[in-house]
């Protein structure tokens, strides 16, 4: 990433955070930080997870979707953990679903 104003490379850990925003250490310009989201392929989901999505009107066929998966003992969260996923939040994480 780089600052658009001074065109210098910057590192997230070297920039001071003010009100949940990042600023270039050199010029003070606000820097936009893109966040990545985990996605899963619906063709690899077990039927229980697909049923869980359908019950919540989340698409797993024909159209990609995003779901807020609660960080508890629901079948989707359990399946994610079984496949090595670690939640970033105590409440929920947004998970993208690539439709079949």
Q: Provide the residue ranges of all domains of the chain, joining segments of one domain with +.
A: 1-33, 38-98
pLDDT score recorded for residue 25: 74
CA distance 4 to 1: 9
pLDDT score recorded for residue 29: 75
The sign of the CA dihedral 47, 49, 55, 59 is: negative
Segment 4-53, tens digit of pLDDT: 677 666 555 445 555 566 777 777 777 766 678 899 999 999 999 999 99
Residue in the block written with tokens 């999505």 = 53
| 65 closest CA partner among 100, 13, 22, 19 | 100
* Local structure of 92: helix, strand or coil: strand
User: Is residue 78 predicted with pLDDT exceeding 80?
Assistant: yes
Q: Indicate the pTM of the whole model.
A: 0.67
């Amino acid at each position: 990433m780089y600052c658009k104003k001074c065109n210098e490379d910057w590192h997230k850990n070297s920039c001071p955070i003010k009100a949940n925003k990042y600023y270039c250490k050199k010029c003070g310009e606000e820097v936009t930080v893109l966040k990545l989201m985990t996605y899963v392929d619906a063709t690899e989901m077990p039927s229980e997870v697909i049923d869980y999505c359908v019950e919540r009107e989340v698409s797993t066929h024909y159209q990609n979707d995003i779901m807020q998966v609660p960080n508890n003992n629901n079948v989707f969260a359990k399946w994610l953990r079984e496949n090595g996923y670690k939640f970033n939040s105590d409440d929920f994480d947004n998970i993208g679903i690539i439709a079949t």
